Amino acid sequence: MEKKYSYGFKLNVVQEYLQGTSGTNLLAQKYQVSGPSLIRKWVNQYQEYGKEGLQTKKTKKKYPLDFKLNVLKFKQDTGASYKDTANAFGISEPSIIANWRRSYLKEGAPGLNKPIGRPPKMTKSNSEEKKKNQQKKLPTSEAEIELLKKENEYLRIELEYLKKLKARGLKDPRENNSQE
C-alpha cells in the first residue's frame, strides 16, 4: 500500500529541492520517501500546476473516450514521453496514459471505455428484463445518433493508427496478446 503524504510535507520537500541544496536521492533518504522518482513527480506537479498540483484529489477525474484517443494519438505521433504528454493535456498522473495505452493495445478503443469498479449485482429476473428493454430501444434520439457518430470517429482513428503501423512495417501490437 502506498504511503500518503500531507500537502505541507510535499510542499516542504519540493521547496527544498527547488532551492538547489539537495537532490532527489538525498531528499528521499532524508525524509524517508519511497524513492527519488516520487519527489521528481511532486516537483513536476508543482511546476506545472502550482501549489494545487500537490493537493490530494478527492475524486477521480473521468475522461471521455475521444480525449483518451487524442492523447494516445498525440503521444504516438510526437514520440513525447508520458510525462510530457500528461503535461500537454493537463493530466496530473502520467501513468494514467500508460494504462490507457495498455488497454488500447489489448482491446482497442472499446477497452478505453470500460466502467471503473465492480459492476452492480443483478438478479436473474432483473437481468432478463433489462435485456428486453435494451432490445426494444433503437437509436432514434439525437444523443444516441451523436454517440454512434463519435464511435464511428473513434473507429476511424483506430483504423488510421493501424494503417500507420502497417506503413512503418510494424504489426498490430494486439496480435501478440491474442496468441499467448
What distance in Å separates the CA atoms of residue 155 and residue 163, rounded to the nearest whole number? 12
Res 1: pLDDT: 44
When mean pLDDT is compared across 3-7, 31-35, 124-128, 167-171, the lowest value belongs to: 124-128
2 DSSP assignment: P
Distance of CA 55 to the CA centre of its chain: 19
Grid coordinates of 88: 500537454
DSSP 170: P
Which residues make Cβ contacts (< 8 Å) with residue 169, sequence separation at least 6? none
Question: What is the value of pTM for the model shown?
Answer: 0.48
Q: Which of 21-25, 77-81, 84-88, 175-179 has the lowest mean pLDDT?
A: 175-179
Q: What does residue 65 show for φ and ψ, rounded to 5 degrees?
A: -60, -45
Higher pLDDT, 28 or 48: 28
Determine the Cα–Cα distance for residues 66 and 156; give it in Å rounded to an integer: 11
Give pLDDT tens digits for 11-28: 888 888 898 888 989 888
CA neighbor of 33 nearest in space, from 3, 1, 6: 3
Q: How far is CA 56 from the centre of its chain?
A: 17
- Helices and strands (H, E) in the chain, number of each type: 9, 0
